[in-house]
Structure 1
Amino acid sequence: METRVLRANNHMQEALSNLRNVENVKEQRKHLHENPVAAIRGIIESQVRDFEDNLEDDYELGAWLASFGNQILIIVEQIQFEEPTLIIFKGRDNSGNKLQLIQHASQLNLLLNAVKKQTDEPRQQIGFIHN
Structure 2
Amino acid sequence: MDETEISTTAEAYEAAALPRRIEVYADDSRKGGATPDGCVTDKPVARKSPAEWAYERLVLYIRDFEADLDNAHEVAMGFTGSQAGVLRIEGMGFFDPDIITFYGTDPQGIRTQLVQHISQLNVLLRALPKLVEAEKPRRIGFRLAQRLEDATREESPEAT
- What CA distance in whole angstroms lies between the structure 2 residues aligned with 1:64 and 1:40? 18
- What CA distance in whole angstroms lies between the structure 1 residues aligned with 2:104 and 2:111? 6
Q: Are 2:78 and 1:84 aligned?
A: no
1:96 is aligned to 109
Q: CA deviation at 1:39?
A: 2.2
Please, what TM-score do these two structures have when normalized by structure 1?
0.67
Identify the structure with the greater strand proportion.
Answer: 1
1:11 is aligned to none
Structure 1 residues 1-131: aligned runs within 5 Å: 28-29=45-46, 31-32=47-48, 35-66=49-80, 69-121=82-134, 122-126=136-140, 128=144
Q: Larger C-alpha radius of gyration, 1 or 2? A: 1
SS at match of 2:64: helix
Q: 2:113 is aligned with what amino acid?
A: Q
Aligned length: 100
Q: 2:67 is aligned with what amino acid?
A: D
Q: 2:101 is aligned with what amino acid?
A: I
State the structure with bigger RCO (CA 8 A, min sep 6), 1 or 2.
2
- What CA distance in whole angstroms lies between the structure 2 residues aligned with 1:81 and 1:75? 18
Q: CA deviation at 1:120?
A: 4.1
**Using a 3 Å threshold, how does the CA distance of structure 1 residues 95 and 28 change in structure 2: closer, same or farther?**
closer
Q: CA deviation at 1:98?
A: 0.6
SS at match of 1:113: strand
Identify the structure with the greater helix proportion.
Answer: 1
Please, what TM-score do these two structures have when normalized by structure 2?
0.56
- What CA distance in whole angstroms lies between the structure 1 residues aligned with 2:78 and 2:127? 10
Identity %: 28
SS at match of 1:47: helix
SS at match of 1:51: helix
Q: 1:125 is aligned with what amino acid?
A: R
- Structure 1 residue runs of 5 or longer lacking an equivalent are 1-26
TM-align CA RMSD: 2.2
Q: 1:76 is aligned with what amino acid?
A: I
